[in-house]
Structure 1
Amino acid sequence: MTKDPIDKLLDDAQSGKSLFKNREVLHFSFIPDIILHREDEQKKVTQSLLPLLKKSRPSNLLVYGKPGTGKTLVVKKVLGKIQERVKENSFPIQLLYANAKEETTLYGLLVKLGRQLGLLSQKELPSTGLSISEVFNRIISTIEKNGLNTVFVIDEIDYLVELVSKSGKDVFYSLTRANERLKKGTLTLIGISNDLTFKERLDPRVLSSLSEEEVIFTNYTVGQIKEILEERIKVAFIPNTVEQAAVNLCSAMSGQEHGDARRAIDLLRVAGEIAEREQSDTVKEDQIRRAALKMEEDKETTALNSYPLHEKLLILAVMKASGNTTGEIYQSYKNLCKITRQKELTQRRITQMLSEIEMTGLITGKIIHQGMHGRTKKFNLTLNADTVKKAFKEDLTLEDLV
């Protein structure tokens, strides 16, 4: 008699029949004892932050590199080791971490940092309702009152430029000049960015104090990614459960496209989960290929679901517009607003939003010259329409539109 597949999976899990020995090793937050192929970068970041050991404030630091090149990993490891050494020191360090890409507003980002400083109650720091300058003042007052030596690590700091532009409040300038206000305590800013050009959008006054020191992380090679994977496999998987051909393919796919070690590690983890669900004895090349397809689809769906309602309506408008010019898309957007009983935004704001969505790569715009009628910009989805429909089907406001 054929065994029930659910019982088979549950029995295997209970009996320990798993390909994985330690899944956490394949999580993006895992910090290995040795970070391979980043010796020079670790030295530079450590040297930049050495003043913390001397009870001094280091220079602000900007760390650059494409996604998956080890920037966040190295910064967190260096700061963690420094913090261990000064734990019982009279110069304690408080680390604050926020990823600007994960926050939709500048207010939300500052509140996240404030919570890590100990401003936990709504009275001390409400989730809404204060001005940006008042939130910042309360953070600075807490640092000064407690004589804290703080290190603000802002990951994907290029997105902070967008949050600043939306709010009209230049918190960059306030952050980089905070020590001029502090009589007690210090504030050091470490910015981590995937965008080498984002500084071009900064005020020159901010630029001079933000990039006091810089470290650039280069892409990993295919060979380096392979070594990184092999080290993780030793700890993450049961011996001899990942075929060498699968490791080679995983390294090649991530190295040739992006030089992105984090993507390679994610790819290996997802392939391992697919193999485990299929009750395979090993992770094979085919499972790596299928994991890559699944991850791409998941990434697009996650990106689509992260948008606010009016940006979702705008993406649908691009998909449904009879033409693809800004005017035609706006008309399509207005029709969708009527159907969903939403108050429409102005055409000027919609034009701005189209440019913002274009920056993410979900839509693409092309200037079309129309002779004596001037020129216009036409937009198209870069995604499959079915992907958009599948993502938005879960949104109750949009379910009848897709």
Structure 2
Amino acid sequence: MSEPVLQDEGIPDMLLSGPSGTGKSLIIHAVCKQIVELCESQGKVFGVLSINCEGPKTADRAVYRLVKAAADDLGVDPGVPQTGVSTDQKLERLYELMREHYDGVIFILDEIDLLEGPYQEAEYNSLIYQLSRARKLADFDGPISLTTITNYADFMKNLNSRAQSSYNPDDIFFDDYDATQLRSILKYRRDAFKPESLSDDVIPLVAAFGSQTHGDARKAIDLLRWAGELAERRGADTVTESDVRKAQEKYTENRKLRHISGISTQKKLSTYAVAATAHYTKENLEWIPAGPAFKTYQFIADTMDAEKYSRETFVNHVTEQSTYGVLDFERRGRGRGRGVHMYFSLSEDPETIMETIREDSRFADLAHEDPTISSVVRERMKKFRSNS
């Protein structure tokens, strides 16, 4: 799909979707590296402007990161400050750099779904709308492509009408790796071990476990590493099938908590608030109402000096964790004329979830037992019951 740039032809916008660890980011960057090298051999300059959308939070910050990516690639000054100027001015600077230095450009927005912003309207709608119209807005003659990367196959359904009208990508879905593919990938990781230190059945067994449980290359590589660590701890010279099986047991036991460790800051904050509400309620409630949990979220966000999102975004962050078995949720009516309310039920011990999240340095200052959070939880639960 990217090859037409070599003939100065247009290249399509692309959407790369599929589960984590299936090579989406790796492959698009590997292909773009080849395109850059081939363009150079033809005396042309192809720009690859790539950002990860977990950090910026707003379209304005994301645009600045694209300006910075172009400036760093070209060895020039960004030409605009990060703050104090409008998004339109930053976009114009981006287009100016493109016109002056590039014959073709591909924008890569990795983890696009994480660019949610503090408001109900997700920030990625604005960014996708602007960049998908870049050829026209930038007065740029060369080929331009916008590539978005996400784990969610239904991401396009979340776009608003403006973004959908301007962004019509070719959809490329990345399936989970099967055992044969994982075995091939793992063979390239043998050099992490001393020669002859892996028994013949280790890599096939790791690949089999990986394909059966997740199809994720990163997790399969982790499993191989854990097996090696277990062998090293027992003082063995060889990693065996037994080490792999013990490592797999470790993976199964800690899978939910490892997932929590890897989610974004706002999702951790939302999940922490639900766990804290369950923990400080002191009543062993099976179901936690979303209302008091959201108030706890707001209080903890203030304590951490973190950005506060809307209640709808908070609920979306929490309910997403049901996909990974961290919790369950349901909507209940509270009687005639009293509306429908969301409730959460954690599948892990609330204190364990809180401890896992506090391992993140951004949450390290939250106390193990915090009387202020406890007070907020009790007050909000009392008010919730009085209104029920």
Return the TM-score normalized by structure 2. 0.75
User: 1:74 maps to what in 2?
Assistant: 27
2:385 is matched with none
**1:201 corresponds to which letter in structure 2?**
N
Q: Per-residue deviation at 1:195?
A: 1.1
**2:319 alignment partner in structure 1:** 358
Alignment of 1:116-195 (within 5 A): 116-118=69-71, 124-160=79-115, 165-167=121-123, 170-184=126-140, 185-195=142-152
Cα distance change of structure 1 residues 277 and 81 upon mapping to structure 2, 3 Å threshold = farther
> What one-letter code is carried by the residue in structure 1 that aligns with 2:319?
E
1:300 aligns with 2:256: no
The 10-residue stretch of structure 1 (116-125 or 134-143) with the greater mean CA deviation from structure 2: 116-125
1:387 is aligned to 353
Aligned residues: 351
Q: Does 1:376 align with 2:341?
A: yes
SS of residue matched to 1:280: coil
Whole-Å Cα distance in 2 between the matches of residues 245 and 66 of structure 1? 27
How far off is 1:128 after superposition? 3.2
Q: Is the 8 A contact 1:319 1:381 kept in 2?
A: no
Partner SS, residue 380 of structure 1: strand
Alignment partner, residue 374 of structure 2? none
CA contact (8 A) 2:16 2:148 kept: yes
1:224 and 2:181 matched? yes
Provide the C-alpha distance between the structure 1 equivalents of 2:113 and 2:301, rounded to a whole number of angstroms. 32
Q: 1:199 to 1:278 in 2, by over 3 A?
A: same
What SS is found at the alignment partner of 1:399?
A: coil
- Root-mean-square deviation (CA, aligned residues, Å) is 3.6
Residue 60 (structure 1) shift? 1.3
Q: Distance in 2 between matches of 1:200 and 1:356?
A: 17
Match of 1:280 in 2: 236
Q: Which moved more, 1:262-271 or 1:328-337?
A: 328-337
For residues 307 and 47 of structure 2, what CA distance do their matches in structure 1 show? Answer: 45
152, 156, 167: which one pairs with 1:210?
Answer: 167
Q: Are the aligned partners of 1:304 and 1:312 in contact in 2 as well (CA < 8 Å)?
A: no
Q: Is the 8 A contact 1:60 1:209 kept in 2?
A: no
Q: 1:197 to 1:260 in 2, by over 3 A?
A: same
Deviation at residue 149 of structure 1 after TM alignment? 2.0
Instruction: Name the residue aligned to 2:202.
Output: 246
- Is the CA contact (8 Å cut-off) linking 1:143 and 1:186 kept in structure 2? no
Aligned mate of 2:331, from 362, 367, 389: 367
Whether the aligned pair in 2 keeps the contact of 1:132 and 1:169 (CA below 8 Å) is no
1:12-41: CA deviation from partner (whole Å, max 9, x where unpaired): xxxxxxxxxxxxxxxxxxxxxxxxxxxxxx
Q: Could you list the per-position Cα deviations for residues 193-215 of structure 1 after superposition, in whole angstroms to 9, with x for gaps in the alignment?
A: 22111111223453354334232
Q: Is the 8 A contact 2:272 2:354 kept in 1?
A: no
1:245 and 1:285 in contact (8 A); partners too: no
Q: Deviations over 1:172-226 (max 9, x none)?
A: 1111111012334543212222211111122345335433423222222233323
Q: Relative to structure 1, is the Cα distance of residues 105 and 295 closer, same or farther in structure 2, using a 3 angstrom cutoff? A: farther
Once residues 344 and 227 of structure 1 are traced to their aligned partners in structure 2, the CA distance between those partners, rounded to angstroms, is: 43
Q: What is the one-letter code of the residue matched to 1:65?
A: G
1:147 deviation in Å? 4.1
Question: Which amino acid letter does the alignment assign opposite residue 61 of structure 2?
Answer: G
Question: What is the identity, as a one-letter code, of the residue corresponding to 1:53?
Answer: L
Kindly state the Cα deviation for residue 96 of structure 1 after the two structures are TM-superposed: 1.8
5+ unaligned residues in a row in structure 1: which ranges?
Answer: 1-47
Task: Return closer, same or farther for 1:237/1:138 CA change in 2, 3 Å cut-off.
Answer: same
- Supply the distance in 1 between the matched residues of 2:116 and 2:270 (Cα, whole angstroms): 22
> Structure 2 CA distance, aligned partners of 1:175 and 1:233?
38
Q: Deviations over 1:119-144 (max 9, x none)?
A: 68997233334333332222122212
Determine if the alignment matches structure 1 residue 86 to structure 2 residue 50: no
2:71 aligned counterpart, secondary structure: coil
Q: Which runs of 5+ in 2 are unaligned?
A: 371-388
| 1:15-26 alignment, distance < 5 Å | none
**Do 1:149 and 1:186's aligned partners in 2 also have CA atoms closer than 8 Å?**
yes
What displacement does 1:388 show? 1.3
Aligned equivalents of 1:157, 1:207: Cα separation in 2:
15
SS at match of 1:87: helix
Cα distance in structure 1, aligned partners of 2:317 and 2:222: 28
Aligned-pair identity (%): 23
**1:329 and 2:293 aligned:** yes
Contact 1:317/1:333 (8 A) holds in 2: no
Letter in 2 for 1:224: Q
Q: Please tell me whether the aligned partners of residues 46 and 103 of structure 2 are also in contact (alpha carbons under 8 angstroms).
A: yes
Change (3 A) 1:193 1:273: same
In the alignment, which residue of structure 1 is the partner of 2:65? 112
